[in-house]
Amino acid sequence: MTEAIRTPKSSVSTSSVWQLVKYALLAMLLMFMLLVCLHAVTLRLEIGSESNAAVDFARNSISLNLGSEPPQLDSTKSTDMVSGQVLGHVMEGLIRYGPNNEILPGIAESWEVSELSATFYLRKNAVWSNGSPVTADDFVFAWQTALDPETASQYAFILYPLKNGEAINTDGADVEDLGAKAIDDFTLKVELEQPTPYFIKLLAFFTYLPINREFYDSRDGTYGTSVEDLIFNGPFTVSKWQHGSSLRLEKNVDYWNSEDIKLDAIDFAYIISDPNAIINLFATKKIVMAGLQAENIERALANRWPVKEHVDGSVFYLGFNHREDRPTSNRNLRKAIQLVCDPEELVYKVLKTPGNRPGESIFPVWLRGVNGYFRDEYPAPKHKPDPDLAREYLVRALTELELSSPPQLIFLTGDSEFSTKHAEYYQSLFKENLGIEVRIDQQIFQQRLAKMTSGDYDIVAAGWGPDYDDVLTFGDLFTSWNANNRGLFKNDELDRNVQIAQQSSDPKTRMEAMNRVQHILYEEAAIIFEYERGSNYVADDRVQGVTRRVVGTDPDYTRAYIVDKAKE
Amino acid sequence: MNLSFTPATVETDIEQTSRPSLSYWQDAWIRLVANKRAITSLFVIICLLLFAFVAPHTIWRVKHDIQNLDRASEPPWVNRKALVLSDNDTWNDVVVPDAVGEHRAPTSLEVVGEAATSRVRLMWDAVPNSHGYRVYRNIVEPREGAPLGLSIGVVNESTLVSFEDRLDIRQKPYWYSVVALHEDGSEFDTAKTLRVVPQRSIYVSEALALPGVDSAQPGETVALVWHPLGTDYLGRDMLARLMKGAQVSLTIGIVAPLLFMVLGIVIGSVSGYFGGIVDAGLMRFTDFVIALPFLLFMILFKLMFVPPEGEANFLSSVQDFLGIEGGILAMVVALVLLSWPGIARLVRGEVLKIREQGYVEASRLLGAPNRWLIGRHMIPNTMGVVLVSFTFAVPATIFTEAFLSFIGMGVVPPTPSWGSMCNDGIRTMETYPHELLFPALFISITVLAFNLLGDGLRDALDARMRSSE
């Protein structure tokens, strides 16, 4: 170094540069060789270790990833999809859904339904994993617990069709007044608050699952938090639950229909949420299924993995804040925004994954109508983006709001990478077409809900997944009394139509009321329909009999089995 | 004897054994210039500064936040020729009578009209006894018995034999397959496959909006806007974003070290010069600051500077007043508050050393006041160390900024920084490597250049090294 400084033109500096280059090349070569060696070693290790392979023929088991860990497995308190999936494998309610969403007998062998009541006859060979039989009282107990205000169940509302359900949950009525009574151990009598044509469909939802009263009381408040604090009546049992890392299900030999269950174990060997890490697990044959993001689809195709599609039934929309102090309470402003939004562009150019459908209505296409599909019978409102008309609405809105320039709006959204991209798309869309500045506010789910409840936003990216298989699961979302109507949209005609659909038992009357709802939502620009979500995933084709569902346990591995392609 | 003494001619030209007197800084400059690597780095840094602060206003005035979803994730070498399509480019479903025959898959599959990136229209002939069709798209040729690719559409009528694909079509070969469906939705065992290479397309209205295009008729081709470094995932110009990102990265990388240097020098020199209890107190405080976790602080700062909606606080209003884009001020403040201890310790050590030197003692004995001692001896003699650590602090700060933005704790979208651009690019690393490559390259070059310059400066300024020559 000092040499080089003293005699700048000497050859020493050139040769030292060459030396440096030589060392650098050598170092890179060594690094490369090391990588090759490591790669070879890991490959060998993977072949050697059968225990964490995706499909384990010796143990008749499969490995999977859980997107997140269930907070607990107490069905009265669960709210998330992952808990729902695990509960669907280890518990069984009065009914269950078959592979084509048909209603099959579960714990109830048969039932009689009339307009305001239902009687269920339970099978006598259904037992809990501690040996005691599953009785009618277990259902009554679970429902009473979920409705008890002390439990603070977020899904208590799904039990409101039961007589006095809502009164117990909100008005402090006695839980003993609930319209569900155990006539004897195996007969359950249910009374309804009002005619609820879709009541039977509700019963597969996890809040309706039974809980063993004796066991629940013996756990002293810890029910559902660990393997020791759970008992099961479903096809599988949780045999190992390492919080934060894995969850293992084993076949329940005491399950009444255990000959239908082919797999001996389902190993949720990973609890990982990073999509790329999940894909890598699939690529190295560690798990049998992985969701595909738009970025990974080409990789899956190039590797010739079987790419499948699943429509999960959810609809996504931009919700407005209708509180009076917000600019978005102005209908003309909402109309202006609605007219620059193009769901087709969003799906084809931003989401870029097949399966997603441009949103046209709050009711997704898979919902049933009178005879066929609802959306075939009652077409969605026609939407055509029109920026010029949008600007006219904007001018009117500004006059009404007494503003000289378009207001800045707050766009509340999630904290994922996709949310950023999605929000940036709208930011630019509104800026370019309407001159509306958008401030993106990214928050985690709980925080987002809190902000939506307190009204701390103008526009929110929201979605709704179906809880049961009926139009009302979407139809009542924007009624003035629904707690999930966090933007406080209020429209008397919409409220009236939802009441008609809730009380009538005539399919045509109900569907016509719902048709009004979808048009009101569009005309008032109460929300902006974005897309119906469809997702892509790759699945190991050695695993068969897996059911993907819109409503209920998804994905459902209870009736899955493995086939050895090499032996065929 | 006539002794005549003639005076010898005086050799006035005494051999010069000393070089011209040079000041410390002149000497350092000569050394620096002689160091090729350092000078190259200096040149690179000047280029980067021009790139960040001059080029966006002169050579490349493209805006960094203009999206064009039709041109998302384009690499630089993409073909810019586009086919012009009519604005009313709609198409009706093709319906044919019931098919007769024995075939189990369509016998023909063809593209109707041009295969364009805005749509590919397929038509096939009906299959007898089918109840619909499923259309697949693949990027590799499907093999016998292997999956057909991505299911992009389902037709539920056996007589409806057309499909329009609009899903994110790019200029590259696709293999479309059509397979007939049974009543229950299961597929027939054979499929008809067609290779299609869509041509880039643009609508008339869009073509007319292009610079330099006066008229466009359907069927003509026009050249699209040039993106020298391609586009990102929302079709924004990479070069413009890199320039904007350079502004953010270099501003933070230079402003933050400047500020924490000043803070560090003040604290370090006060501590070293006065010594005793002041020194002990300040140094314990320094230890305390070193122990603070940087990331945690960063998260807290971000919350304060980017407050929940509607509640502007003092800090956020300062930020708005200065017109600084989201998150930058938070990062600078966090860096300044937490990075000064290193330089403070360094300066304190130097001052302690110089304080005890003979010449300082002599100066003091001759009656020099405090300000002379500080101004003439302390500051100039610590300047070398300070300058060297400054040049090392700059790349370290740029790197920290990139890291923070990479993990999403840095700038707020849509403001780009090299780090956040890397974060965006890493998701599509396998399919569109340029989105990651360019920002990563810029970070590497900048950090390397500053480090090499720092190396050169240290060699040029370090007194101890000079004496060892």
How many Å apart are CA A144 and CA A136, to the nearest integer? Answer: 13
Q: What is the pLDDT of residue B324?
A: 61
- Mean pLDDT calculated for residue range A112-130: 89
Q: What interhelical angle do B36-53 and B24-34 show, nearest 10?
A: 90
- Shortest Cα–Cα distance, A139 to chain B (Å): 36
Indicate the residue type of A13. Answer: S
pLDDT of residue A120: 93
Q: For residue A433, what are the contacts with CB-CB under 8 A and spacing of at least 6? A: A340, A387, A390, A391
pLDDT at A48: 46
pLDDT of residue A392: 93
Contact: A4, B427; criterion CB under 8 Å: no
Cis peptide before B414 (omega within 30 of 0): yes
- Asked if B310's CB is within 8 angstroms of A451's CB, the reply is no
On average, the pLDDT of chain B sits at: 81
Closest CA in chain A for residue B415: A424
Q: Are A479 and A498 in contact (CB under 8 A)?
A: yes
pLDDT score recorded for residue A1: 40
* Chain A, nearest residue to B119 by Cα: A348
Assess whether pLDDT exceeds 70 at residue B12: no
| β-pair partners for B151 | B136
Of A1-15, A346-360, B171-185, B242-256, the least confident: A1-15
pLDDT-derived band of residue A5, with 50, 70 and 90 as boundaries?
very low
A393: confidence class by pLDDT, cuts 50, 70, 90: very high
pLDDT digits over B384-443, tens only? Answer: 788 888 888 888 888 888 888 887 777 776 778 888 888 888 877 777 888 888 889 998
The minimum CA-CA distance between A413 and chain B, rounded to whole Å, is 13
Q: Tokens 């590497």 identify what position?
A: B444
Percent of chain B with pLDDT over 90: 3
Q: Which pLDDT does position B380 carry in this prediction?
A: 79
Whether the predicted pLDDT of B307 surpasses 60: no
Secondary element (H or E) of residue A117: strand A117-122
Neighbouring residues of A235: CB distance < 8 A, sequence distance ≥ 6? A89, A90, A92, A251, A252, A255, A257, A258, A260, A261, A558
Burial A12-32 (b: 16+ CB within 10 A, else e): ebeeeeeeeeeeeeeeeeeee
Write down the residue that tokens 């130097």 correspond to: B350
pLDDT of residue B311: 52
Residue B58: is it exposed, middle or buried by C-beta count within 10 angstroms (0-12/13-18/19+)?
exposed
Identity of the residue in B143, B167, B234 whose CB atom sits nearest the CB atom of A354: B167
Condensed to tens digits (0 to 9), the pLDDT of residues B171-217 reads 889 999 999 888 877 888 888 889 999 888 888 877 887 777 777 77
DSSP state of B256: H
Question: Which of B38 and B3 is assigned the larger pLDDT?
Answer: B38
Task: Compute the nearest-CA separation of B402 from chain A (Å).
Answer: 17
CA distance B150 to chain A (A): 6
Q: Span A222-230, mean pLDDT? A: 87
pLDDT over threshold 90, residue A395: yes
Mean pLDDT of A484-504: 89
What pLDDT, on the 0 to 100 scale, is given for residue B314? 62
- Taking a C-beta distance cutoff of 8 angstroms, is the pair B51, B228 a contact? no
- Residue A101: other Cβ atoms inside 10 A: 16
Contacts of A421 in chain B (CB under 8 A): 233-234
User: What pLDDT does residue A514 have?
Assistant: 92
Q: Which residue of A has its CA nearest to B467?
A: A2
Q: What is the pLDDT of residues A401-458, one digit of tens each?
A: 988 888 899 999 988 778 888 898 899 899 888 999 898 888 877 788 888 888 889 9
Q: Shortest CB distance from B69 goes to which of A1, A276, A350?
A: A350
**Cβ atoms of residues B204 and B84 within 8 Å:** yes
DSSP secondary structure string for all residues of A181-226: EEEETTEEEEEBSS--TTHHHHTTSGGG----HHHHHHTTT-TTSS
pLDDT at A235: 92
Please report the pLDDT score of residue B2 as a whole number.
66
Mean pLDDT of A280-287: 89
Q: According to the per-residue pLDDT averaged within each range, which of A19-28, A149-158, A512-521, B74-83 is highest?
A: A512-521
Give Cα separations from B161 to B118, B132, B197, B221, B455 (angstroms).
Answer: 20, 9, 21, 30, 70
* CB distance B48 to B246 below 8 Å: yes
**Least confident among A188-197, A215-224, B88-97:** B88-97
Instruction: Output the pLDDT for position B464.
Output: 56
pLDDT in the model for residue B320: 61
Report the 10 Å Cβ neighbour count for B135: 25
pLDDT of residue B273: 80
Asked if A4's CB is within 8 angstroms of B35's CB, the reply is yes
B140 touches chain A (CB under 8 A): yes
Inspect the interface and report whether the beta carbons of A301 and B150 lie closer than 8 Å. Answer: yes
**pLDDT exceeds 70 at position B334:** yes
What confidence category does residue A3 fall into, taking pLDDT thresholds of 50, 70 and 90?
Answer: very low
Mention every residue, 6+ apart, whose C-beta is less than 8 A from residue A15.
none
3-state secondary structure of A133: strand
ipTM: 0.74
Residue pair A493/A516 in contact (Cβ under 8 Å)? The answer is yes
Distance from CA of A518 to the nearest CA of B (A): 25
Alpha helix (H) residue ranges in A317-468: 331-340, 343-345, 374-377, 387-401, 417-434, 445-454
The beta-carbon neighbor of B430 closest among A1, A299, A420 is A299
Contact residues on chain B for A417, CB-CB shorter than 8 A: 427
pLDDT tens digits, one per residue of A69-78: 888 888 888 8
Q: How many CB pairs under 8 A join A and B?
A: 103
Q: Which of B160, B186, B183, B156 is nearest to B99 (CA)?
A: B160
- B120-124: strand order across its sheet: B109-111, B120-124, B162-165
Question: Which pLDDT score, from 0 to 100, does residue A391 have?
Answer: 92
Check if B168 contacts A (Cβ < 8 Å): yes
Token pair 């999956």: residue: B147
Cα A343 from Cα A385, distance rounded (Å): 9
pLDDT at A220: 82
Between residues A469 and B250, the one the model is more confident about: B250
Those residues with Cβ within 8 angstroms of residue A228's Cβ, 6 or more apart along the chain or in another chain = none
Residue B417 backbone dihedrals phi, psi, to 5 degrees: -140, 160
- Supply the pLDDT for residue B468: 41
Name the region of B327 (left: φ>0; alpha: ψ -120 to 50; beta: rest).
left
Q: How many residues does chain B have?
A: 469
Q: Which residues of A touch B67 (CB under 8 A)?
A: 424-425, 428
Alpha-carbon gap: A320 to the closest alpha carbon of chain B (Å): 15
Position B316 scores a pLDDT of 61
A19 confidence band (pLDDT: 50, 70, 90):
confident
- The residue in chain A having the minimum alpha-carbon distance to the alpha carbon of residue B165 is A348
Residue type, B113: G
Q: Does B39 touch chain A if contact means CB atoms closer than 8 Å?
A: no
Q: Which of A213-222, B6-15, B106-115 has the lowest mean pLDDT?
A: B6-15
pLDDT score for A140: 92
Q: A336 pLDDT exceeds 70?
A: yes
Question: Cβ distance B182 to B124 under 8 Å?
Answer: no
Partner residue opposite A352 with nearest CB, options B147, B153, B168: B168
pLDDT of residue A44: 65
Tokens of B355: 């304080």
Residues A529 and A375: their CA atoms lie apart, in Å, by: 14
Which is it for the CA torsion B124, B130, B135, B136, positive or negative? negative
In a 13 Å sphere around the CA of A325, the CA atoms on its Cβ side amount to 5
B305 SS3 class:
helix
pLDDT number for residue A4: 43
Q: What is the pLDDT of residues A441-451, one digit of tens each?
A: 888 777 888 88
Using DSSP's 3-state secondary structure scheme, residue A239 falls into strand
pLDDT 10s digits, A86-111: 999 999 999 888 887 788 898 999 99
Q: Give the confidence band of B24 by pLDDT, cuts at 50, 70, 90.
A: confident
**pLDDT value at position A142?**
92
Position A208 pLDDT exceeds 80: yes
Distance (Å, rounded) from C-alpha B105 to C-alpha B183? 15
